[in-house]
Amino acid sequence: MDWLVNTLYYVVPFVVLLGILVFVHEFGHYLMAKFSGVHVEAFSIGFGKQLWGFTDKSGTRWKISAIPLGGYCQFLGDADASSSTSDTAELTEEQKKKAFPYQSPLKKLLISVAGPAANYLFAILIFASIFFFLGKVEYPAVVGNVIPGGAAEKGGVLAKDKILKVNGKEVSNFEEIRREIDLNNEDKISLEIERAGKIINLSFPLMVMDMPENMAVNNGEKPRPMLGIQSVSGVEIKQVDMGLVDSFAEAVRETWNITDITLRGIGQMFTGKRSSDEVGGVIRIAEMSGDITKEQGWLSFVMFMALLSINLGLINLFPIPLLDGGHIVIYVLEMVFGKELNEKFKDGLFKFGFAVLISLMIFATWNDIVRLIHRWFA
């Protein structure tokens, strides 16, 4: 019976989460295509065999497919779901007016950008709604993860410890912990923590670290003494009355901060300051969505959805062929040169992009499996 419960906790939230985010992304493409006069032949959530579907009055086939790991909009004139090849041999002159391959590079670019833009707008709407109706989001003063080799690990801090005081001053959220660490002028830091209902006092020296905390905004400071902990993924709500304009402004700032953190983290992986072991895939997403559903409730799940929506939009903007960002680069080049790029050249780019994406998927899946093995046998 336990396996059934775990299935409900992990598989169902994952499928719902991914389904919503994929729908938002593809619906962005769909709306811009309709606005641009391009006919959408199919709108699918998932890949593979169709499980359910219907055809609307405009001739678009809406469907849910068997493999829930993505989705696509297939436009008139496309030979495949990625719009990387075309099939226009049997199109009439009237149909060509609504076929994707015959559109201007600008229209194609706008349709490509619309998917990631929809993900960003969706995240902003989630944040703005929470700020307006509930209040400001804060990360609680609870240790989510202790960075290996850091000061906290050597000082005896454990994951799930709740930090009550830093250097004798009470703290209620992660931002206050960060502030007290920054203001610390001593060689040592003292913490009062709550662990399993018991109060424990610790004192130990900070350490200079190159890797910033996972949920912190790295403003490009030089390496400095740090505690070496990461916040939990759960959130708390601070009762602050925010108007509609202020809520949207704060939501835009939150979205930008998450984008900035993600880009800096990727940059640190390339420079070797951050481990590539942090790269995760669909298994990791399923694991995190299940953990959040079981332990933290609906609000943390919605916040996690907003975070993933930003990541999905951002990743799709990377200039990798087959992703939206790769298409955008091609359309920009076509606008600059005033003509369509050579088909063989584009075909080579898309094959390269496919190889890159498959490699990344294999690498991320391997990291996920290793992480799960460590978790099971910990």
**CA nearest 255: which of 208, 197, 313?**
313
Would residue 26 show up in a list of annotated catalytic residues for this protein? yes
**Residue 163, strand partner residues:** 193
DSSP H or E run through 84: none
Query: What is the rounded distance in angstroms from the CA atom of residue 313 to the CA atom of residue 113?
Result: 9
Total Cβ atoms within 10 A of residue 13: 22
Which 8-state DSSP code applies to residue 278? G
Residue 340, Ramachandran bin (φ over 0: left; ψ between -120 and 50: alpha; else beta): beta
Sign for the CA dihedral angle at 297, 299, 300, 304 comes to positive
The SS3 call for residue 136 is strand
Q: Is residue 162 within 8 Å of 278, Cβ to Cβ?
A: no
60 phi, psi to nearest 5 deg: -85, 130
Do the Cβ atoms of 40 and 111 come closer than 8 Å?
Answer: no
137 by Cβ neighbours in 10 Å (0-12 / 13-18 / 19+) ranks as buried
> 111, 62 in Cβ contact below 8 A?
no
Residue 362, C-beta contacts closer than 8 angstroms, at least 6 positions apart? none
150-170 in b/e form (b: 16+ CB < 10 A) is: bbbbebebeeebebbbbbeee
Cα 213–chain centre separation: 17
What 8-state DSSP symbol labels residue 292? H
Of the candidates 26, 192, 236, 250, the residue annotated as catalytic is 26
Give the 3-state secondary structure of 204-248.
EECEEECCCCCCCCCCCCCCEEECCEEECCCCEEECCCCCHHHHH
Q: Which residues are catalytic?
A: 26
